Amino acid sequence: MNNKSNNKNNLKDSEILGKVLFTEEVIQKRVGEIGQSITEDYDGEDILLISVLRGGIIFLTDLIRAVDLTLSIDFMSISTYGFEDSATGVVRITKDLEDPIENKNVIIVEDIIDTGLTISYLLRNLKARYPKSLDICTLIDRDVRRLADIDIKYKGFTVGEKYIVGYGLDYKQKYRNLKSIYELKTHLVKKDIESIKLDSTYQGT
């Protein structure tokens, strides 16, 4: 057992974490506002929220509690190939939805949309299953690197180039449990981030 005051593994003390971009309070407030908008927009309707594993789950679990409608949730998991330089985004579904979405009001809930290639693939794939409606909700929009033309109905925040972690977003599968969103000190992890993005078997979220 580590002595608490001597704990070198303390999450927020990690030397790779840079400044806080969005605090827990700011995130919770924004999630509440998005939940309110969804509640108003789909008044009188059932909705299905689909989260893309794994990054989107923290946002999803907070968001559904901010929505005052009858709703269901489902999950997909994907792998992305040719992540940065492919014009189309080659994506493989590694875990599909449990239930059909035909005639349902579907909202895809994402952690971050960057190039937009992943979500474009998902949109094409889900549209072919004849949902009643299909919308996108992302906590973070990084539009400076966008390659695909997509219409985001609900977004929490916009960020610039820097790689971010926390509130579901990982760095090497860690830091998802941070309650705030942080920038990474990219000079410490630059090579790693480049290799994450160029890895041919990079797990989309």
Where in the sequence numbering do the catalytic residues fall?
114
Query: Which residue of 31, 50, 60, 165 would you call a contact of ligand 5GP, by CB under 6 A?
Result: 165
Shortest reach from residue 182's CB to ligand 5GP, in Å: 10
Within residues 93-122, the interface with ligand 5GP by CB under 6 A covers 110-119
Query: Which residue of 123, 169, 178, 181 would you call a contact of ligand 5GP, by CB under 6 A?
Result: 169
DSSP H helix total and E strand total for the chain: 4, 9
Q: Answer yes or no: are the C-beta atoms of 20 and 182 closer than 8 Å.
A: yes
Please tell me the distance from the alpha carbon of residue 118 to that of residue 173, in angstroms, as a whole number. 19
49 binds ligand 5GP (CB under 6 A): no
Shortest reach from residue 29's CB to ligand 5GP, in Å: 21
Report CA-CA distances (Å) from 8 to 5, 68, 109, 114: 9, 42, 34, 33
Within residues 119-158, the interface with ligand 5GP by CB under 6 A covers 119
Q: Strands, E, within 23-145: which ranges?
A: 47-53, 71-81, 90-95, 105-113, 133-141
**Contacting residues toward ligand 5GP, per CB under 6 A:** 55, 89, 110-119, 163-165, 169-170, 204-205
